[in-house]
Amino acid sequence: MPFAPDEIQWNPACGIGPDGHWWGWFDIRVHPDALWRLGLHPDQPTSKVNGPSPPGWWHAAAERNARRR
């Protein structure tokens, strides 16, 4: 996992929705330094590619699957 245990916090919650059915959600919080390390912090001026791009067939398969929905 890219985060240390003290860099991420999650809290499950549940309640009754407007339709009367139960539903749930998660509140997830990540320490800004951990996001910065991964190139995901919004205050970073730029982020750099740190690995190869997926192969062409992967992109084509993703587009085909998106059209099926």
pLDDT at 49: 66
pLDDT at 33: 87
Give the pLDDT band (50/70/90) at residue 14. very high
- CA-wise closest residue to 2 among 46, 53, 54, 37: 37
In tens, the pLDDT along 18-68 reads 999 999 989 999 898 888 888 777 777 665 666 788 788 888 888 888 887
Whether the per-residue pLDDT at 69 is higher than 70: the answer is no
- CA-wise closest residue to 23 among 14, 13, 36: 14
Residues 51/38, Cβ–Cβ less than 8 Å: no
